[in-house]
Structure 1
Amino acid sequence: MRDYEILWPEWNELINERFVPLVDNTDRYLILWGGRGSSKSDFAAKKLIYRCLTEKYFRYILVRNEYISIKDSQFQTLKDIVFDLGLDPLFQFKVSPLEIVCINGNKFLARGCDDTTRLKSIKDPTGAWYEEDIISEKDFITITTSIRTSKANYLQEIFSINPEVEGDYTQNWFWKKFFEDKLETSFTDITRVEIDQNKTIEMRYTSHHSTHKDNRYIPDEFIAFLQELKKTNPYYYTIYCLGRWGNKITGGQFYKLFSIGKNVSETKYNPSLPLWLSFDFNVLPGVSCGIFQIESRKMKMIDEIQLPSPNNTTSNVCREVIRKYQNHSAGMLITGDPAGVHEDTRSEKGFNDYTIIQQELKQFLPSMRYGKLAPPVVMRGNFINTIFETGYEGIEIIIGNRCSKMINDLLYGLEASDGTKLKQKVKDADTGATFEKHHHFTDLLDYAVTSIFPGEFDKYRRGGRPMLITYGKNISNHNSAYK
């Protein structure tokens, strides 16, 4: 092999500043995710080309769900960058089979998950680059357990993905493995991988979020297109512009007029305003609590609480409220599911959910504002949809952008054939018990809206007519003097 000298540019000249700290990242999993046009694939390719040129042993797998799609994605990205950098004399680009071979013997090999036999056929791979697709958990396990050689400087698997999946993303294996219970978008943590029935190992991973705003090279026309999605297609605005997790929406949502672009924003706690707490009571997935503040006619959701088992009780939720808002002194009002007044097996005799709340939160001197009966589901749903659409009676509902469970319920909770909420059942993986998949947080939203704006809800129920107030007694016809 001939000697060669590589004139590699400074990293801050070659890639966007947002990605420079990742050049030396050696975590086992590097997850690059977010919006379109952020340059995450460009960074991944340049880092891998550099490693391929400079490391003694490097054998990297290019992975997608379908083998045929790799040629126009990772393969083409790597090829374009190699030629742009003037490094093409150092590489061979083969199409049958699809692979890239460096003059030093290092290489990239393409594999599709549509051929599981070939997934296992690479000897001593040093990593894998998963582009756009989130593959199945089974295929991931097959690939990641094959990456175990001691020949490499370090082993690393890179994901460059847009955060969209079929079905509920909170039930997707990838989200549950790397993102569940995480509030931040960029972080470093540990994941556990089961090697066999008797051995589990811990591996570090980095989650790195980026959007088009992190790409100094992006054309203005593309930025304008992404911003226009806020009006034309709020769903794709959420995925492609903001880079947030989402599911492909198939229709039939109960809250048809909810829009992320219009109804979701950053919300902050205001210590000078009262807190409204709204509750929905369930054993599984647990007691749900939404925290709201009202500014004029604007109702802002600032926080949500739903604790994992075994802490999923009314008392523990209240203690979490105290932990977060212990210095609050501007008043507190409590509403929620009227069924919380009933005693059940979760509470001691003489206690119910609301007496527990009143006792646990007594330092705030809470005012209880829950109703005797739950408002009709169809009517309250129509009322809230109308607020989302037109700002009925000047009311505006803003959901905090960190209230992911509420946003998920609003986006993916479905409507039943009778116009009520479809209560889909799912099974708890640990206990085997079934519970309702959606609508816990939207139920507490319904209770909050109708409690905070009772007059407006009553007016809406009567078709917009003002309440008719009658004075005096009704006199029946048979007692009338005018027979």
Structure 2
Amino acid sequence: MAKLERPRGLKITFKPSARQYELWTALQPNHCDKCGGKLVMKPNGFDKLGHRIYQATCEQCGNTDIPEQVLGGGSAGGGKSYIGCCWLVCSCMQFEGIRMVVARKVRKTLLETTWVTLKDVLRTWGLKQDIHYHINNVTYVITFWNGSEIIAMDLTPSPQDPDFNSLGSLEITGGFIDEVSEVSEKAVEVLTSRIRYKIAETFVVGKLFMSTNPCLTWVRSTFVMTDDGDPVELQTGYRYIPFSLFDNPNEQFRAIYYNKLSKLRNKADRDRLLYGNWLFTTSNKMAAYWNFDGDKHLIHNLREQAYDPLKPLILSFDFNVNPYMSCLPMQIDFDEKIVYVFPEYVGYPKDKRNNTPAFTRWIASQLVTDGQIGGVLLTGDPAGLSRSTQTEEGVNNFTIANKNMTNAVLKPKIQLLSKQPAVVTRLEFINELLHNFQGWKIYIDARCHRLIEDFVYQKKNPDGTKEKKKILNDAGERVERWGHFSDCFDYAMIYYLSQAYSKYKTASTEIVTTIDSNDTVYGDFDY
């Protein structure tokens, strides 16, 4: 490879929109995004071992909340990825010998999308391949004349390396993760911890930029909104910069892409991709709950409108401990044939609530605070009646829950199915309920994020059962990602709408199949 040369006489035209410039400012090296001042590392006390620690501080205004992790999120076509690529190239031109990373979950997808945009930026800025920079198409590294590099990387977890230990020796100066909603939180944490190379003489504070369209993953709860739909109180060093299509300064592109996105038939996809709506909910005809429709079944602030503390509250439990313990509260109006599903109770491991005693005590305290005096009905997975080897005779998850909720106010009562209903029949019944079987209406509080995720994303197996696909969690354990809250919903509906369920089963088994008299009828296989 011939020696690379420094470019001379470059004329770069870069005219970002106001939103793009806000993002650009947050990514600038040695720069306070509040006042534009320079940064200095000042002593900020000592750690528990007596070592002095330092904090990046603006010399001009004293700001210590300097951007480190920046999310550009919102609608498609806003120019988020373009700004990310411009930032990578500009940083490598500005500093010699630095290492920047551009990543997606799958490198093949990265090379077909963001990598193409990156090469377009190099070309339009007047940089010439093999003169000012070189691309290694084997290792997928762009090397500049001054020794700086941009490395293409995938962030797909593997069973052999769930903790991304393969990144342990990596040292980088900054990074850009495109479509970060596809990437696990663990991968982002590990990559962030590797931003340590030549930081002091360049950025002073290491920076990671992430882009995404609205999603239902950890990204939303970390940067955008809580599970209740309220804005997140961002950690120090975190920034969320919302984008819409109209933040793209290219007017011709906006006009063409707007017409394309506005013709999307699915309202949820249209709101998500065109307007950057993070409260989107879609339906999925390939899902196990194919009759779920966000426009029809979801009500914002349903709890405030329909919850009655004077009436019995049904609590449907799933006592799996990973990825969380689940409890779905609901009330049923049998006169009007309406099921009201209220915001979920979730027992996360991080809160030490993914065990029955702690989880049920916490729920009991919440219900007392809410003034629930109409009684509590405990239901859910009949497997919760099974005795653990760690408990004495007669003690199980439901007896523990009943004991922890027994007081003069709640007065709990256990009401369970005698056995688990057939999965195929129960799934078909729930879909019929979602389609107004016997006039029943299902209304779900829009804050039931995990139930909604189950309804949208859980798939159906070819035999009609629910797909129980497992993933690796951050601790490297294999857990079922979907289906916990939908199971809670199923069990409650079959128990409390037992007459409708019996009617459905009877109707489905009374179907008469007629055949031609000349056809051969085969019996079941007998193994």
TM range (shorter): 0.5 to 0.7
Shift of 1:278: 0.6
How far apart are residue 211 of structure 1 and its match?
A: 5.2
SS at match of 1:461: helix
Instruction: Report the CA distance between 1:279 and its aligned residue.
Output: 0.7
Quick check: 1:281 aligned with 2:319?
yes
Quote the Cα distance in structure 2 between the aligned partners of 1:405 and 1:425: 16
Mapping of 1:55-94 within 5 angstroms? Answer: 61=100, 63-64=102-103, 65=107, 66-67=110-111, 69-70=113-114, 72-76=116-120, 92-94=126-128
CA distance in 1, matches of 2:179, 2:332: 41
Q: Which residue in 2 is equivalent to 1:145?
A: 194
For each residue in 1:19-75, what CA deviation from the matched residue of structure 2 results, as whole angstroms up to 9, or x when unmatched? 59946274333233344234433554677788789x777957362535575563134
- 2:19 is aligned, of 10, 15, 21, to 15
Q: Could you tell me whether the CA contact under 8 Å between 2:243 and 2:276 is conserved in 1?
A: yes
DSSP-derived class of the 1:302 partner:
coil
Report SS of the residue matched to 1:94. Answer: coil
**In 2, are the aligned partners of 1:307 and 1:317 still within 8 Å (CA)?**
no
SS of the counterpart of 1:358? helix
For the pair 1:254 / 2:298, whether they are aligned, the reply is no
Counterpart for residue 55 of structure 2: none
Q: Percent identity?
A: 22
TM superposition shift of 1:381: 0.6
> Counterparts of 1:306-325 in structure 2 under 5 Å?
306-308=347-349, 311-325=353-367
2: distance between equivalents of 1:2 and 1:421? 62
Give the Cα separation in 1 of the matches to 2:194 and 2:423. 49
Moved more, 321-330 or 445-454: 321-330
- The equivalent of 1:474 in structure 2 is none
1:272 deviates by: 3.0
Aligned counterparts of 1:70 and 1:17: Cα–Cα separation in 2 = 20
**Post-superposition offset of 1:318:** 1.5
Deviations 1:357-403 (A, max 9, x none): 22222332234443333333222210111233x32233333444443
Is the contact between residue 192 and residue 208 of structure 2 (CA under 8 Å) also seen in structure 1? no
Q: TM-score, normalised by structure 2?
A: 0.60
> Which residue number corresponds to residue 212 of structure 2?
161
1:397 partner SS: strand
- d(CA) in 2 for partners of 1:409, 1:289: 14
Alignment of 1:19-30 (within 5 A): 22=26, 24=33, 26-30=66-70
Q: TM-score, normalised by structure 1?
A: 0.65
Which secondary structure does the structure 2 equivalent of 1:458 belong to?
helix
Counterpart CA distance in 1 for 2:210 and 2:187 is 16
Q: How far apart, in 2, do the equivalents of 1:213 and 1:330 lie?
A: 49
Per-residue Cα deviation, 1:403-433 (whole angstroms, up to 9, x for no partner): 343233333434345433344456777596x
Aligned-partner Cα distance in 1 for 2:314–2:24: 44
Equivalences for 1:195-214 in 2 at 5 Å? 206=238, 208=240, 210=242, 212=244
Question: Aligned with 2:455: secondary structure?
Answer: helix
Q: Distance in 1 between matches of 2:129 and 2:24?
A: 32
CA distance in 2, matches of 1:14, 1:79: 24
Which of 452, 456, 463 is 1:411 aligned to?
A: 456
Question: Is 1:131 the equivalent of 2:178?
Answer: yes
Once the 2 structures are TM-superposed, how far is the Cα of residue 148 of structure 1 from its aligned partner?
A: 1.4
Match of 2:383 among 331, 339, 344: 339
Q: Distance in 1 between matches of 2:421 and 2:102?
A: 51
Moved more, 395-404 or 329-338: 395-404
Cα distance, 1:305–1:145 mapped onto 2, change above 3 Å: closer
Letter in 2 for 1:358: N
Match of 2:429 among 383, 386, 395: 383
For structure 2, the residue ranges without an aligned partner over 5 or more in a row are 1-6, 28-32, 34-64, 136-141, 155-166, 510-527
Across the aligned residues of Structure 1 and Structure 2, the Cα RMSD in angstroms comes to 5.2
Q: 1:140 to 1:344 in 2, by over 3 A?
A: closer
Per-residue CA shift, 1:310-359, capped at 9, x if unaligned?
Answer: 53222222122134342333533332123334443354433333332222
1:231 aligns with 2:266: yes
> Is the 2:262–2:270 contact (alpha carbons within 8 Å) kept by the matching residues of 1?
no
Alignment partner of 2:498 out of 431, 454, 462: 454
The one-letter amino acid of 1:231's match is: N
1:183-206 per-residue CA deviation (whole Å, 9 max, x = no partner) reads: 4775544xxxxxxxxxxxxxx752
2:439 to 382, 390, 394: 394
Structure 1 position 304 matched with structure 2 position 308: no
Alignment partner of 1:279: what SS? strand
Structure 1: which 5+ runs fail to align?
81-90, 115-119, 190-203, 466-483
